[in-house]
Chain A
Amino acid sequence: MEIASDYMPWPRESMSEESSNTVSKSSLRDPDRRQRPHDKFDPVRSIKTVGQIGWAILTLAVAGWLIWRGAMAMEYNWQWYRVEPFFYRVVDGEFIWGPLYKGLIVTLQLASISGVLAIIIGFITAFARLSQSRAGGLIATVYLEAIRNTPLIVQLFLFYFVLAPILGIDRFWAGILCLAFFEGSFASEIIRGGIQGVDHGQFEAGDAIGLTPWNKYFYIIIPQSMPLILPPLTGLLISLIKHSAIVSVIAVAELTTTGLNLISDTFMAFEIWFIIAGIYLALTITLSVCVGQLEKKMSIQKR
């Protein structure tokens, strides 16, 4: 049996340098030879783009006009000039924050505290489900199924009317815990998916160099799962901000509650609901822009 004694697939000498069909090495790297042609101006495509933008503007204008005409028909008395004091007032040279500002602060507190708690609960639940422990897995599964299969508002009533008196906590913390456990259940599935999305070889490599499970996850697995976790987690935090409005039913003085109170005082329903919707929109868009920047930074770092 004849076997090649060397692992070189062919002798180097056989690759001749002066073959007539090849381009010389310096010209292969010549940038002028390989320049990309200029993109040509395409009038048809430009007109189409302008047309699309025109359609969008027209549709939005029609919707706006319908609302305005409806309000006119109701003889609604627009009083935008009365809105500013709801944010702040200056009385005798003294600056006083208005109710909408205070409500916004409470909403931010609700969302940020319960957001942090939800992520912590999410990690704990995800690891409980991924672990070998039967008890951990069972508890996590029961928690997930209970939370995901009952309405949020029912959970809120349970937290406020049943758990809060037992644990001796106020309505603010009842709202925070309810939101944290609700969003935590979704966060745990996002985190579990992110961790399982990391290439199996990375787990094996971490094991093979003798890292402890904690070090393996902390330095190897979780950093690599972040690009998979961050986009859906941003969506979750945005829905958390929106869901925080529901704690108005237990009268936590956040943005929506403040709005309801102002309307019952002033009957300016249209203006105030537009403003409140605008504030929520500003919060959520700010959040997604920030996370978008963060993701960009992370993907640049990886390259």
Chain B
Amino acid sequence: MPDVNSDLMTPISTTPLVEISGLCKWYGKFSALFDINLNVSRGEKVVVCGPSGSGKSTMIRCINQLEEHQAGRILVDGKEVKPGMKNIEDVRRDIGMVFQSFNLFPHMTVVDNLTIGPIRNKGISKSDATETAMHFLERVHISEQATKYPPQLSGGQQQRVAIARALCLKPKIMLFDEPTSALDPETIAGVLDVMIELADGGMTMICVTHEMGFARKVADRVVFMDHGEIVEIADPKSFFNNPQTDRSQLFLSQLLGH
């Protein structure tokens, strides 16, 4: 099994945007991640799936250091990301993140949610930041809600605002942590449409998701994780039609069995 990861890597361009090697993380004695190796090239779309508790979210949260790892190396655009580093903010500004529970700032209007990052981080003027914010709100088809507060919006609308908020910082890569898991069924499609448009626009994306239709349509590679390890990396067609390991076969049969 150890060389499963390396055979199937088919990088799109030569310099990887994210390089993860030998990544390990423990909570106390519990090993949450073990020996994760994954390179993501510029413009590549990677879907991470696996049963709950398999370390999918923990892995992508290590990339912007919302979780600290204890061993291994993470390089984002050539710069190493490590626990306790100074100027972690500079790295995070290049990484957009979308959470399962949206995490919009409920005390600010939608447009203020989008502009606070650019204004406070980069010293961009309020009018310029608002212009950028409106541009991205239009891209996620929600510009008419700009002056409302997040709690007034539906879950799907909030998640699209969250995507726009991340895009306003012009990130090099977008991380999605189960973006549709907390949504009502009828609002999922709108969020996935926005993510597909984003992928078509050439954004580098790592998505933790259970939306297998999305994975088939968009992913260049599917990463299957279980018990904190990468079990299988494959292109979506072969992963879904012909999973190589017992664990991925079991996972897919449970996911699609009913």
Binding site for B on A (CB under 8 A): 1-9, 199, 201-202, 204-205, 207-212, 215, 219-220, 223-224, 301-303
Contact B104 A205 (CB under 8 A): yes
Enumerate chain A residues within 8 angstroms of B252, measured Cβ to Cβ: 1, 3
What's the least CB distance linking A80 to chain B, in Å? 51
CB of B188 within 8 A of chain A? Answer: yes
Contact A208 B89 (CB under 8 A): no
Enumerate chain A residues within 8 angstroms of B101, measured Cβ to Cβ: 201
Contact A210 B256 (CB under 8 A): no
Given contacts A5-B213, A5-B216, A6-B213, contact A209 B121 (CB under 8 A): yes
CB of B29 within 8 A of chain A? Answer: no
Contact B106 A302 (CB under 8 A): yes
Of the 9-residue stretches B91-99, B135-143, B197-205, which lies at the interface with chain A? B91-99
Contact B213 A209 (CB under 8 A): no
Which 8 residue pairs spanning A and B have beta carbons closest together? A7-B213, A210-B93, A205-B103, A201-B103, A209-B117, A208-B97, A210-B92, A210-B89
Interface centre among A4, A201, A207, A208 (most CB of B within 10 A): A208
Enumerate chain A residues within 8 angstroms of B103, measured Cβ to Cβ: 199, 201-202, 204-205, 208
CB of B34 within 8 A of chain A? Answer: no
Enumerate chain B residues within 8 angstroms of A1, measured Cβ to Cβ: 240-241, 243, 252-253, 256
Name which residue of chain A comes closest to B185, CB basis.
A9
The answer for the CA separation of A223 and B165 in the assembled complex, in Å, is 19
The answer for the CA separation of A215 and B121 in the assembled complex, in Å, is 9
Contact A212 B89 (CB under 8 A): yes
CB of B26 within 8 A of chain A? Answer: no
The answer for the CA separation of A7 and B89 in the assembled complex, in Å, is 36
Enumerate chain B residues within 8 angstroms of A4, measured Cβ to Cβ: 212-213, 256
Q: How many chain B residues touch the partner (CB < 8 A)?
A: 41
Contact of B89 among A2, A199, A202, A211 (CB under 8 A): A211
Enumerate chain A residues within 8 angstroms of B166, measured Cβ to Cβ: 208-209
Name the interface residues of B39-97: CB closer than 8 Å to any CB of A.
64, 66, 89-90, 92-93, 95-97
The answer for the CA separation of A3 and B214 in the assembled complex, in Å, is 12
Q: A1-B241, A7-B192, A211-B120 are in contact. List 10 more A-B contacts (CB 8 A).
A: A3-B212, A7-B188, A7-B213, A207-B66, A208-B99, A208-B166, A209-B116, A209-B169, A302-B106, A302-B149
Contact of B92 among A5, A207, A223 (CB under 8 A): A207
CB of B153 within 8 A of chain A? Answer: no
Enumerate chain B residues within 8 angstroms of A199, measured Cβ to Cβ: 103
The answer for the CA separation of A186 and B113 in the assembled complex, in Å, is 33
What's the least CB distance linking B79 to chain A, in Å? 14
CB of B124 within 8 A of chain A? Answer: no
Per-residue A-contact encoding for B90-133, CB less than 8 Å = 1, 0 else: 10110111010101111100000000110011000000000000
Enumerate chain A residues within 8 angstroms of B107, measured Cβ to Cβ: 223-224, 301-302
The answer for the CA separation of A209 and B169 in the assembled complex, in Å, is 8
CB of B211 within 8 A of chain A? Answer: yes
What's the least CB distance linking B112 to chain A, in Å? 9
Contact B189 A210 (CB under 8 A): no
CB of B151 within 8 A of chain A? Answer: yes
The answer for the CA separation of A1 and B256 in the assembled complex, in Å, is 9
What's the least CB distance linking A207 to chain B, in Å? 6
The answer for the CA separation of A296 and B97 in the assembled complex, in Å, is 34
Enumerate chain B residues within 8 angstroms of A6, measured Cβ to Cβ: 213
Name which residue of chain B comes closest to A208, CB basis.
B97
Contact A210 B105 (CB under 8 A): no
The answer for the CA separation of A7 and B188 in the assembled complex, in Å, is 9
| A-B contact list, 25 entries, CB within 8 Å | A1-B243, A1-B252, A1-B256, A2-B256, A3-B240, A3-B252, A3-B256, A6-B213, A7-B188, A7-B211, A7-B214, A202-B105, A204-B103, A205-B103, A208-B64, A208-B66, A208-B99, A209-B165, A210-B169, A211-B120, A212-B89, A215-B121, A224-B106, A302-B151, A303-B149
Enumerate chain B residues within 8 angstroms of A9, measured Cβ to Cβ: 185
The answer for the CA separation of A207 and B121 in the assembled complex, in Å, is 11
Enumerate chain A residues within 8 angstroms of B104, measured Cβ to Cβ: 205
Enumerate chain B residues within 8 angstroms of A219, measured Cβ to Cβ: 116, 120
The answer for the CA separation of A283 and B192 in the assembled complex, in Å, is 57
The answer for the CA separation of A199 and B103 in the assembled complex, in Å, is 9
The answer for the CA separation of A2 and B258 in the assembled complex, in Å, is 11
The answer for the CA separation of A201 and B96 in the assembled complex, in Å, is 15
Contact of B99 among A205, A215, A302 (CB under 8 A): A205
Enumerate chain A residues within 8 angstroms of B66, measured Cβ to Cβ: 204, 207-208
What's the least CB distance linking B250 to chain A, in Å? 12
What's the least CB distance linking A174 to chain B, in Å? 40
Enumerate chain B residues within 8 angstroms of A302, measured Cβ to Cβ: 106-107, 149, 151
Enumerate chain B residues within 8 angstroms of A205, measured Cβ to Cβ: 99, 103-105
